[in-house]
């Protein structure tokens, strides 16, 4: 090798080592006059290969610029709970001034083995500046279902306040068994029976009284957007035979907007109580109409 050639090779090697030592060069420099290939893989490590040696391991995907797959978390399962909010307003002015307001909220969770339902409502009305209606109710029921049988068990509890009833406040609760007489898709019909208690405040009959329960409940879908719900339950007083309560509900809904889940709705509540304080009526009728939002 001549002195000129040796000088050029030595200069090439020095330049290559300086570039590799900078930390940002990712290449391999080979001098055909030398038996060694030296290079940096970009992360500060060094590769050396001699003639006849096995090839170096492949560079990692990051160094080759390949995309690294990113693991994505699966979407959360949808909630079992369904909610409903109802609002209604009405008023009149002229020979008499009337105004009323109603608000209801309901939540339902149903799986193959259980169903939990909760509802609350407030109803207020005035006539010529005098309060004519002031009622609040809140209650819930839990059903233990058996997918392989039409029988199920249930427990319920309810609180009522009404300024114009024979009582001011009332609590009742029951344990019972139900039978799914007709199952959806078109018609749902359940039979209920059980035993429980009722307690009133602000009435002449304010003892805790045992009572039985016999009822029917159902829902009928005219179409996917149009349906009615109903229930009728009688509560015989077990401490005074012949006395009873009879509670009935009817609800109607018509879907107006599928995307917004907005419906037109109306409902009727009728309750009859055989034993009331003097000067009070046995029957009480409540009704409303408004808009319903499901979410």
Residues 144 and 22 in one domain: no
Inter-residue contact 282 to 256 (CB < 8 Å): no
Q: Is residue 76 part of a domain?
A: no
Is a pLDDT exceeding 50 seen at residue 43?
A: no
Residue 18's domain comprises 3-64
Minimal CA–CA distance to 123: which of 170, 92, 160, 156?
160
The reply to whether 125 and 185 lie within a common domain is yes
C-alpha distances (whole Å) from 27 to each of 33, 39, 125 are 18, 6, 85
| Non-local CB neighbours of 211 within 8 Å, separated by 6+ positions | 172, 174, 195, 196, 197, 198, 235, 236, 237, 238, 245
Residues 54 and 91 in one domain: no
Average pLDDT over residues 20-49: 45
Predicted pLDDT at 141:
98
pLDDT in tens, 71-90: 666 666 667 899 999 999 87
pLDDT score recorded for residue 89: 87
Q: Are residues 88 and 48 in the same domain?
A: no
Q: What angle do CA 160, 166, 171 make, to 5 degrees?
A: 30
Mean per-residue pLDDT of the chain: 82
How many C-beta atoms surround the C-beta of residue 77 within 10 A?
A: 6
> Band of the pLDDT at 254, cuts 50, 70, 90?
very high
Can you give the pTM of this predicted structure?
Answer: 0.72
Confidence at 19, pLDDT banded by 50, 70, 90: very low
Residue 65 Cα distances to 29, 40, 61, 62, 235, angstroms:
20, 15, 6, 5, 76
Confirm if 135 and 122 have CB atoms less than 8 A apart: yes
% of the chain surpassing 90 pLDDT: 64
Region of poorest pLDDT, from 49-58, 103-112, 120-129, 278-287: 49-58
Are residue 57 and residue 165 in the same domain, yes or no? no
**Same domain for 191 and 282?**
yes
Looking at residues 34-47, what average pLDDT do you find?
A: 46
Return the structure tokens found at 243.
């006395």
Residue 11: is its pLDDT beyond 60? no
Report DSSP state, residue 77.
P
Q: Are residues 89 and 209 in the same domain?
A: yes
Cα–Cα separations (whole angstroms), residue 279 to 181, 198, 243: 41, 22, 18
Domain match, 10 and 120 both: no
Q: 16 with 150, same domain?
A: no
Is pLDDT of 28 > 50?
A: no
User: pLDDT digit string (tens) for 178-209?
Assistant: 999 999 999 999 999 999 999 999 999 899 99
Residue 80: predicted pLDDT: 87
Q: The tokens 């429980």 sit on which residue?
A: 196
Q: Which two tokens stand for residue 276?
A: 């009331």
In this predicted structure, the answer to whether residue 124 has a pLDDT above a threshold of 90 is: yes
Convert the pLDDT of each residue in 139-162 to its tens digit: 999 999 999 999 999 999 999 999
Domain CATH for 136: 2.40.160.40
Cα separation, 16 vs 18, whole angstroms: 5
Q: CA dihedral defined by 47, 52, 54, 58, rounded to 10 degrees?
A: 50
- Ranking 26-40, 54-68, 187-201 by mean pLDDT, the lowest is 26-40
pLDDT tops 50 at residue 48: no
pLDDT at 98: 82
């Amino acid at each position: 090798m001549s002195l000129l050639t040796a000088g050029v090779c030595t200069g090439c090697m020095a330049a290559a080592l300086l570039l590799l030592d900078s930390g940002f060069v990712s290449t391999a420099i080979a001098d055909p006059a030398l038996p060694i290939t030296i290079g940096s893989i970009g992360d500060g490590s060094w590769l050396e290969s001699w003639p006849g040696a096995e090839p170096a391991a492949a560079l990692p995907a990051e160094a080759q610029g390949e995309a690294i797959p990113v693991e994505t978390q699966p979407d959360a399962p949808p909630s079992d709970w369904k909610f409903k909010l109802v609002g209604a307003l009405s008023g009149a002015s002229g020979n008499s001034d009337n105004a009323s307001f109603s608000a209801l909220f309901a939540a339902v969770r149903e799986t193959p083995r259980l169903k939990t339902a909760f509802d609350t409502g407030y109803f207020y009305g005035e006539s010529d500046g005098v309060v004519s209606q002031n009622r609040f109710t809140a209650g819930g029921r839990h059903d233990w279902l058996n997918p392989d049988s039409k029988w199920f068990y249930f427990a319920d509890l309810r609180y009522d306040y009404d300024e114009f009833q024979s009582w001011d406040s009332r609590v009742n609760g029951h344990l019972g068994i139900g039978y799914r007489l007709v199952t959806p898709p078109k018609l749902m019909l359940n039979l209920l029976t059980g035993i429980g208690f009722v307690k009133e405040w602000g009435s002449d009959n304010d003892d805790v009284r045992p009572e039985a329960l016999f009822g029917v409940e159902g829902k009928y879908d005219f179409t996917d957007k149009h349906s009615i719900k109903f229930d009728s339950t009688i509560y015989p007083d077990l401490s005074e035979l012949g006395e009873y309560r009879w509670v009935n509900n009817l609800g109607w809904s018509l879907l107006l907007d599928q995307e917004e889940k907005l419906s037109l709705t109306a409902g009727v509540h009728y309750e009859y109580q055989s034993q009331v304080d003097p000067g009070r009526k046995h029957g009480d009728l409540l009704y409303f109409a408004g808009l319903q939002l499901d979410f």
